[in-house]
Structure 1
Amino acid sequence: MPTAPQIIPCVDIQGGQAVRLYEGDPDRQTVYFESPIEAARHWAGLGAPLLHLVDLDAATGRGENREIIAGIVQELDGALEVGGGVRDQARAETLLALGVLRVVIGTAAVKTPELVRRLLEAHGPERVVVSLDARWPEVAVSGWAQGGGVQVAEMTARLAGMGLETLIFTDVTRDGTLRGLDRELMGRVRQLWLNTLIVGGGVANMDDVALLSELGIEGAIVGRAVYEGTLPYPLPT
């Protein structure tokens, strides 16, 4: 019997609020909690062992939310991974020093892959995750605003060669839409990445959870579906 995938609630921070974006567009947001710390408390209270937190302001160059992140680390005793604007070693080291479980590298994995290598050497694969956000077959960068000029297949091969263990793959075209996962695309990514795979982009309901189990994908980052209740959380046993 396949192992149930891990569902990781996502807390996106923009303008000091917990929001979800439609297709990654910072101007098309829904505010679910005025306070990101309240959002974190909500999911922790429901038993979430890990939260995925994205600093959207840092990702888009509009600022950063370090104090909020530090507060959430204290609330959750460090049980979160943080991405968004982690484009140099100083930013990554700052987040790790705050006590986050692991940092998530996105754009920098494409533009400055040596950063990923250095962080893996310094902290090990258990504290470093790479997020490939894509409009298949191309990786998207800079808060999803640009094409990265590199193919997903090329990036997965490069990252595997560096010793990366955990990869997050997000289908930008479906993120925040509740359209469900793209079965064919998820299957392709599973074939490309044989280590731990966490996916996102359109997760809507238990049918998507069943697809994850069928494909042997270890988990999914979920936002709108758990906020709006189309996917129950925690999952029914």
Structure 2
Amino acid sequence: MIVIPTIELQNGKCVTLYRGRINEPTIWHVDPVQRAIDFAHAGAEWMHVTDFNAVVNDGDNSDLVTRIIRSAGVPVQLAGGFRTMEHVEAAIDKGAGRVVIGTAAVRNPDFVKQAAKLHPDQVVLAVDVFQGNVVIDGWRQKTAFEPESFIREFETAPLAAILVTDVDTDVGDSDGSIGLISHLADIARAPVIASGVVRTLDDIARLKYVRNIAGALCGRALFSKTFSLPEALEVAKRDASEPVAEMI
């Protein structure tokens, strides 16, 4: 399993959200490009960047994202506002290693399937789950879809991965259980990336033994210095004899 450091952008700044509230960000007074370079130098194999402005359709951080992609030195997985094929093409053209599609997958699943066929192993399906249902629009809208049936809708698409966020855990409404993500990883055909459950090194230690979990996003804990990226990477190492879901 790999640990994927996360940079979340809003209005040109690194942020994290409190309980998912887009209007109440915690702002980290660091340079986003330099932080990306630092993560790469610390051993990151991949990096995840979320553009919150693009998520809520309030402009974007496109120029900053381009600088991160060009400076990081490792592949970047980009999330936020991918609603059309043109958006996907533009991100890949600027050098994004993968793009993450969530809301548009609910509203237009054929778009995601087509994007995955055109760009095999570069499209990631985002599945955000709150109180048993898939949520969209930055967790603001609950859908009627259960995550199991939603994931199965895309089982024949050549996805790079499925990014599963346990929103209940991320907003602090549970004890940090990895039960939901473990369950969904067990039924998914594509490798699963866990999001919203890493608060401590112990969470990484538990995740790395779950079948079909290939990676875990880690943002808030790194920015708040709960632990360092080298510490997280060391915990995430497996014995060579143990089966690991392959990240492409």
Q: State the TM-score, normalized to the length of structure 2.
A: 0.87
Q: For residue 27 of structure 1, give the secondary structure of its aligned residue in structure 2.
A: coil
* Counterpart residue number, 1:144: 139
- Per-residue deviation at 1:87? 1.0
In the TM superposition, what whole-angstrom CA distance separates every residue of 1:119-159 from its partner, at most 9, and x where no partner exists?
Answer: 111111x2111111110421110111101221101111011
Distance 1:95 1:165 in 2: 16
- The answer to which of 131-140 and 32-41 deviates more is 32-41
Q: 1:71 to 1:180 in 2, by over 3 A?
A: farther
* Counterpart residue number, 1:198: 193
- The answer to which of 145-154 and 227-236 deviates more is 227-236
Contact 1:18–1:32, Cα closer than 8 Å, also in 2: yes
Distance 2:172 2:16 in 1: 10
Instruction: Tell me the percent identity.
Output: 28
Q: Which residue, out of 100, 103, 112, partners 1:107? A: 103
Q: For residue 208 of structure 2, give the secondary structure of its aligned residue in structure 1.
A: helix
Contact 1:180–1:208, Cα closer than 8 Å, also in 2: no
* Counterpart residue number, 2:205: 210
* Counterpart residue number, 1:230: 226
The Cα RMSD (Å) is: 1.9
Contact 1:130–1:168, Cα closer than 8 Å, also in 2: yes
Contact 2:178–2:207, Cα closer than 8 Å, also in 1: no
Q: For residue 202 of structure 2, give the secondary structure of its aligned residue in structure 1.
A: helix
Q: Which residue, out of 11, 17, 32, partners 2:13? A: 17
Q: Which residue, out of 75, 87, 94, partners 2:90? A: 94
Contact 2:40–2:74, Cα closer than 8 Å, also in 1: no
How is 1:76-87 mapped onto 2 (pairs within 5 angstroms)? 76-77=72-73, 79-87=75-83
Q: For residue 209 of structure 2, give the secondary structure of its aligned residue in structure 1.
A: helix
Contact 1:131–1:168, Cα closer than 8 Å, also in 2: yes
- Per-residue deviation at 1:165? 4.0
Distance 2:173 2:7 in 1: 16
Greater strand fraction, Structure 1 or Structure 2? 1
Contact 2:37–2:73, Cα closer than 8 Å, also in 1: no
- Per-residue deviation at 1:88? 1.0
Q: How many matched pairs?
A: 232
How is 1:152-171 mapped onto 2 (pairs within 5 angstroms)? 152-171=147-166
Distance 1:203 1:157 in 2: 25
Distance 2:96 2:128 in 1: 21
Name the amino acid aligned to 1:110: V
Name the amino acid aligned to 1:40: A
- Per-residue deviation at 1:79? 1.2
In the TM superposition, what whole-angstrom CA distance separates every residue of 1:24-81 from its partner, at most 9, and x where no partner exists?
Answer: 2112211124432122122122121211000000001111111111111110246101
Q: For residue 168 of structure 2, give the secondary structure of its aligned residue in structure 1.
A: coil
Name the amino acid aligned to 1:181: G
Q: For residue 229 of structure 2, give the secondary structure of its aligned residue in structure 1.
A: coil
Q: Which residue, out of 37, 40, 45, partners 1:41? A: 37
Q: For residue 59 of structure 2, give the secondary structure of its aligned residue in structure 1.
A: coil
In the TM superposition, what whole-angstrom CA distance separates every residue of 1:168-199 from its partner, at most 9, and x where no partner exists?
Answer: 00012232659763232222222221431101
Contact 2:192–2:214, Cα closer than 8 Å, also in 1: yes
Q: For residue 219 of structure 1, give the secondary structure of its aligned residue in structure 2.
A: strand
Q: Which residue, out of 48, 52, 72, partners 2:48? A: 52
